[in-house]
A and B are shown apart, each in its own frame.
Chain A
Amino acid sequence: MNKIKTILRGKFFFIFGPFIFLWLLRYIIPNYTISSKTPHWAYIPPKSCLGGCGSIDGLVPFVDWTNALIQFLRKYEIFGLFTFRDFTRGIANYVDKFLDFTEAVLHKGFPSYDVGPLPWIFILTLTIILGFYLRGWRLALLGGTCFSYLILFSKRGIWELSMKSLAAISVSAPLAALIGLCLGILAVKRKRFANFLWPMLNILQSLPHFSYLILVVIFVGIGTKAGVIATVIFAFPPMARLTILGLQNISQEIKEAGIMAGCTKWQMLFKVEIPAARSPIMLGVNQVIMQCLAMIVIAAFIGQPGLGHDLLIRLQGLRLGEAFEIGVAVVLIAITLDRYSQALALKEPERREGNFLKRHPYLCTSIFSIIICTFLVFIFPFFNEYPKEYTISASVYLDNGIKSFTRSLFVPLGIFRDWMLIYFLMPLKSIFQSMPWTGVILFVGAIGWKLGKIRLALTVMLFVFFIASSGYWVRAMITVYMVFASLVICALIGIPLGIWASKKESRTKIVLNICDIFQTFPSFIYLLPAIMLFQISDVSAIFAIVIYSSIPMVRYTVFGLRNVPQQIIEASITSGCTERQLLWKVKMPLAFPEIILGANQTLMFALFMVMIAGFIGTVDLSQEIFRALSFSDGGKGLIIGLCVAFIGLTADRLLVEWSSQMKSKLGFKV
Chain B
Amino acid sequence: MNKEVKISCKNIWKLYGETPEKFLKNTNNNPTTEEIKQNNYIPAVRDASIDVNTGEILVIMGLSGSGKSTLLRCMSKLIEPTHGQVFFEGNDLLKASEKELIDIRRHKMGMVFQHFALLPHRTVLQNVAFPLEVQGQEIQKREERAKDVIKLVGLEGREKYYPRELSGGQQQRVGLARSLAVEPDVWFLDEPFSALDPLIRKEMQNEFLRLQSMLKKTIVFITHDFDEAIRLADRIAIMYEGLIVQVGTPEELITKPATDYVAEFTKDIPRSKLLNAESIMNEKDKKPYENTVNYSDKIEKIASKVLKSESIFSVVDDNKEVIGSVSKKELIKALFAEDKNE
Contacts and interface: CB of A to CB of B under 8 A. Distances in A.
A264 interface: yes
B240 interface: no
Contact of B105 (A251, A253, A259): A259
Contacts of B119: 254, 257, 272, 275-276
Interface in B136-167: 160-162, 164-165
A271 interface: yes
- Scoring B107, B123, B131, B179 by chain A CB atoms within 10 A of each residue's CB, the highest score goes to B131
Given A260-B76, A267-B134, A351-B160, A253 B114 contact: yes
B117 A348 contact: no
Contacts of A267: 134
A249 to B, nearest CB: 13
B288 to A, nearest CB: 55
Nearest to A275: B121
A560 B111 CA distance: 41
A348 B162 contact: yes
A251 B133 CA distance: 22
Contact of A253 (B107, B109, B113): B113
Given A262-B102, A262-B134, A256 B113 contact: yes
B199 interface: no
Contacts of B313: none
Interface in A253-294: 253-254, 256-257, 259-264, 267, 271-272, 275-276, 278
A579 interface: no
Contact of B121 (A261, A278, A353): A278
B130 interface: yes
A260 B78 contact: yes
A261 B182 CA distance: 9
Contacts of A257: 111, 113, 117-119, 178
Contacts of B111: 256-257, 260
Contacts of B106: 261-262
Interface string B161-205: 110110000000000001100000000100000000000000000
Interface string B66-103: 00000001001010000000000000000000000011
A277 B110 CA distance: 24
A253 B164 CA distance: 17
B102 A348 contact: no
A349 B105 contact: no
Contacts of A260: 76, 78, 105, 109-111, 179, 188
A348 B162 CA distance: 9
A259 B102 CA distance: 8
A263 B116 CA distance: 18
Interface in A331-365: 348-349, 351, 353
Contact of A261 (B103, B131, B165): B131
Interface string A237-263: 000000000000001011011011111
A590 to B, nearest CB: 30
A251 B117 contact: yes
A259 B122 CA distance: 17
Interface in B290-323: none
A254 B107 CA distance: 19
B115 A253 contact: yes
B135 interface: yes
Contact of A262 (B73, B78, B103, B120): B103
Nearest to A272: B119
A254 B78 contact: no
Interface string A404-437: 0000000000000000000000000000000000
A351 B117 contact: no
Contacts of A353: 160
Given A251-B117, A253-B117, A256-B117, A263 B164 contact: no
Interface in A273-330: 275-276, 278
A254 B130 CA distance: 13
Contacts of B135: 262
B121 A349 contact: yes
Nearest to A262: B106
A271 B120 CA distance: 11
Contact of B162 (A253, A256, A262, A349): A349
B270 to A, nearest CB: 33
B167 to A, nearest CB: 16
Nearest to B106: A262
- Scoring A262, A267, A271 by chain B CB atoms within 10 A of each residue's CB, the highest score goes to A262
Contact of A256 (B78, B121, B161, B165): B78
A486 to B, nearest CB: 43
A348 B164 contact: yes
Contacts of B161: 351
Contacts of A262: 102-103, 105-107, 131, 134-135
Contacts of B113: 253, 256-257
Contacts of A351: 123, 160-162, 165
B173 to A, nearest CB: 15
- Scoring A253, A254, A261 by chain B CB atoms within 10 A of each residue's CB, the highest score goes to A261
Nearest to A257: B117
A260 B112 CA distance: 10
Nearest to A265: B98
Contacts of A348: 162, 164
A254 B73 CA distance: 14
A261 B134 contact: yes
Contacts of B162: 348-349, 351
A261 B130 contact: yes
A401 to B, nearest CB: 51
B341 to A, nearest CB: 43
Contacts of B114: 253
A259 B73 CA distance: 11
A263 B105 CA distance: 9
Contacts of B110: 260
B133 to A, nearest CB: 8
Contacts of B131: 261-262
A348 B165 CA distance: 11
A262 B137 CA distance: 13
- Scoring A260, A348, A353 by chain B CB atoms within 10 A of each residue's CB, the highest score goes to A260
Contacts of A253: 113-117
Contacts of A349: 121, 123, 162
A263 B114 CA distance: 20
A272 to B, nearest CB: 7
Interface in A207-261: 251, 253-254, 256-257, 259-261
A261 B130 CA distance: 7
Nearest to A274: B121
Contacts of B78: 256, 259-260
The 6 closest A-B pairs by CB, nearest first: A262-B106, A253-B117, A261-B131, A257-B117, A262-B105, A260-B111
Given A257-B113, A259-B105, A275-B120, 13 more contacts: A251-B115, A253-B114, A256-B117, A257-B111, A260-B105, A260-B188, A261-B105, A262-B106, A263-B102, A271-B130, A271-B134, A276-B119, A349-B121
15 contacts: A253-B114, A253-B115, A254-B119, A256-B111, A260-B105, A260-B110, A260-B111, A262-B107, A262-B134, A263-B102, A263-B134, A275-B120, A349-B162, A351-B162, A351-B165
Interface of A: 251, 253-254, 256-257, 259-264, 267, 271-272, 275-276, 278, 348-349, 351, 353
